[in-house]
Structure 1
Amino acid sequence: YAKLLVETALDDAATQHLKVAPYCSYISKVIADQPEKYLGLVPQEIRAQFGLPGDTTK
């Protein structure tokens, strides 16, 4: 259920055009596992801080 909760929250953030700072390691993992869908929510300048790639092509 955790993944569903996180994906729902990320989808809601996308719908509202919000940005995400994934301080929770599980949220970072969900974003990293689906970068084409969620990486754009994390500002590029802070992605490295959370171990995320710099762009959506990685």
Structure 2
Amino acid sequence: MSVVETIWGLILLLSIIWVIYDLFTYNRAMSTLKKVLWIIVVLLLGILGVILYYLIGRRRR
């Protein structure tokens, strides 16, 4: 495994963890079903899921 692949994997892992953290701390009003669906989307789509969450799913402040 190359260094670039390792760095990319770490970035992906950290961004997924950040979305899950964000779901349970900042989006408390969101239903549990929606939270679970967003977690599934992020896990299946990876970085695209993270981008979609921040563009569509995240509650505006």
More helix by share: 2
Q: TM-score, normalised by structure 2?
A: 0.30
Q: TM-score, normalised by structure 1?
A: 0.31
